[in-house]
Amino acid sequence: MTGDAIVWFRNDLRLHDNVTLTEAIRRSGKVYPIYCFDPRHFADTELDLPKTGAHRAQFLLQSLQDLRDNLQKIGSDLIIRRGLPEKIIPQLVEELAVTRVFASKEVTAEELSVEKKLEDNLVSQGIELDLIWQSTLLHVDDIPWPINNVPDIFSQFRREAEKITQVRNALPAPTSLNSVEAVSTDAIPTVDELGLSDIPTDSRSVLDFQGGETTGLARLHEYFWERDCLKNYKETRNGMLGADYSSKFSAWLANGSLSPRKVYEEVKRYEKERVKNKSTYWLVFELLWRDYFRFITKKYGNSIFQFGGIQEASPDLRNDIALFHKWKSGETGVPFIDANMREINATGFMSNRGRQNVASFLVKDLKVNWTWGASFFETMLIDYDVCSNWVNWNYVAGVGNDPRENRYFNIMSQAQRYDSQGEYVRHWIPELSDIPGKKVHYPTEIPHPELADMGITIGEDYPKPLVAFSKWLY
């Protein structure tokens, strides 16, 4: 054990199964946990939207407060700073006289750029930056291919990975940590101090999402053990209303408040103590999808953010800002789409089924630039994961590594299948509930992509929402 160390928290806001923190404790004397509020994360995008919106920011602030509370319980604290990490951390290195900096490894361009700048600045101080991989269920060093050879088809990746790769054991949370009581720390800012507007809680939300390791672990325990929902996960996961149609773990996984290996171990325990079936397998299956998106991102790099995507294609899409605003505001006149968009605006969350449909509608029906949709999701989603979000949008836009060409979601058949009684639409569009004796009606077939055949007018002469909705009532 030589010298003291900084642990720079990024998307790993937990104590349990935190390899970076565990390694720092094992190899160092005092350990100084640090989080930097990078102003670039809250700057406006080309769409005049904050890169991190209020819903996700609030979840982050709650997660950091919980991390601070948990660190204080084991004799430490979380040092908060506002500024560029590549500048703030070298200043702290000098101030604290540490000999090493630990951080979790990321895979996307902006994060890699910060890592490189930080590493260069630390090298000039004679300090080593230890970057540790811990974001996935399967470790990048354990999968049976070098990154450049990761299969472009998920099913091939899954079959081979499942046969060969073992999941490493989750690590216990540390029970003590050398104190950092002499170090000054900033307060955790409010949403308002980050330049964002507070958003009131909406009682229609599927779940009262609270950020932090404590609530993430509580949700895991509740979903598996108290409510016994895992046994039916495969049958219910495409639901749209209520807390328990899916696990909702994604928000805590996204900022690292919950470890995928911890989830995996709980699945395995559930299989031993309750039941092992297709549903228990399917939750692990979804964790593997999350891994796959990250490995594909590492393989293809910046391509996932480009208009032509992984395929370097030339999609026939346009930068129609008027249509985009109708879409993002939930005012397209298509109830199933509008209900989903109103949910994400009100709560920062949307079901997986909803995400697939609204993305397909923006790209395949409205023919609007898919990167705008991906960027909007980045702003709005509390469970925004850069790899999962952008690779999924590549798929929908037809510019990714999807084995099925020209993937298209028929919105009406999807609505008929997943909201046949219109309960979800009425939940999010009260205008429909205000019309006595009316029920939502979904035509079963709509010629794609003729929006006129749907009885919808979109553009400068777009009617008031209720007028458009009335076309869907009987």
> DSSP string spanning 259-325?
-HHHHHHHHHHHHHHT--SHHHHHHHHHHHHHHHHHHHHHHHGGGGGSTTTTTT-----B--HHHHH
Q: In angstroms, rounded to a whole number, what is the distance separating the alpha carbons of residues 323 and 341?
A: 14
Q: Does 114 lie in the same domain as 47?
A: yes
Q: What is the value of pTM for the model shown?
A: 0.93
Please report the pLDDT score of residue 408 as a whole number.
84
Q: Does 144 lie in the same domain as 103?
A: no
Q: Does 23 lie in the same domain as 163?
A: no
Q: Does 146 lie in the same domain as 62?
A: no
Q: Does 400 lie in the same domain as 453?
A: yes
Q: In angstroms, rounded to a whole number, what is the distance separating the alpha carbons of residues 133 and 139?
A: 7
Q: Tens of pLDDT along 145-161?
A: 999 999 999 999 999 99
Q: In what order do the strands lie in the sheet with 100-104?
A: 79-82, 31-37, 5-8, 100-104, 128-132
Q: Which amino acid is at 135?
A: S
> In what helix (H) or strand (E) does residue 104 lie, and over which residues does it extend?
strand 100-104
In a domain, residue 405? The reply is yes
Domain end residue (candidates: 266, 300, 334): 300
In a domain, residue 178? The reply is no
In a domain, residue 329? The reply is yes
Q: Tens of pLDDT along 337-369?
A: 999 999 999 999 999 999 999 999 999 989 999
CA atoms in the 13 A half-sphere facing the CB of 8: 30
Q: In angstroms, rounded to a whole number, what is the distance separating the alpha carbons of residues 322 and 332?
A: 11
Expressed as residue numbers, the domain containing 13 is 5-134
Please report the pLDDT score of residue 428 as a whole number.
93
Tokens 């399917």 — which residue? 282
* CATH code assigned at 46: 3.40.50.620
pLDDT bracket for residue 191 (50, 70, 90)? very high
Q: Does 232 lie in the same domain as 362?
A: no
DSSP character at residue 183: S
In a domain, residue 185? The reply is no
Q: Does 291 lie in the same domain as 150?
A: yes
Q: Does 127 lie in the same domain as 87?
A: yes
* CATH code assigned at 348: 1.10.579.10
Q: Tens of pLDDT along 417-443?
A: 898 888 898 899 887 766 554 455 544
* CATH code assigned at 225: 1.25.40.80
In a domain, residue 417? The reply is yes
The mean pLDDT of 44-51, rounded to a whole number, is 95
Count of structural domains within the chain? 3
In a domain, residue 259? The reply is yes
Q: Does 269 lie in the same domain as 156?
A: yes
Average pLDDT over all residues of the chain: 90
CA-nearest of 429, 469, 458 to 325 is 458
